[in-house]
Amino acid sequence: MVIDMARFIIMAFLRTIFLFGLLSWGYVVAMQVVHPESVFWGLAWWLPIRMDYFGEIGFISAAVAYLLVNLIVARRMSKKFSDQ
């Protein structure tokens, strides 16, 4: 029961990271299509990070979260089939 709850929390966290990473990468891509010079803009005046770095971080975090979710699901499915 505790393990299932921990797995649920981890999966929810990874799916949230995947979604927000993908959305942040999509935002940066849309900004670069509309304003090609925006690649050198800062993300916010109080946050010293450029838009292109923010997009890279979003893309990498989405890819890693997606990979981890699929590994967890595949491991769970293989355990389910091996128990039968």
Q: Which two tokens stand for residue 71?
A: 């590994």
Using one digit for the tens of pLDDT, what is the confidence trace for 17-49?
Answer: 999 999 999 999 999 999 999 888 988 889 889
Dmax (CA) for the chain in angstroms is: 58
- Neighbour count for residue 59 (Cβ, 10 Å): 17
Please report, for residues 22, 28, 55, the alpha-carbon distance to residue 32 in angstroms, rounded to integers and kept in the order given: 15, 6, 10
The model's pLDDT over 42-83, given as tens digits with 9 standing for 90+, comes to 888 898 899 999 999 999 999 999 999 999 888 877 776 776
Its pTM stands at 0.82
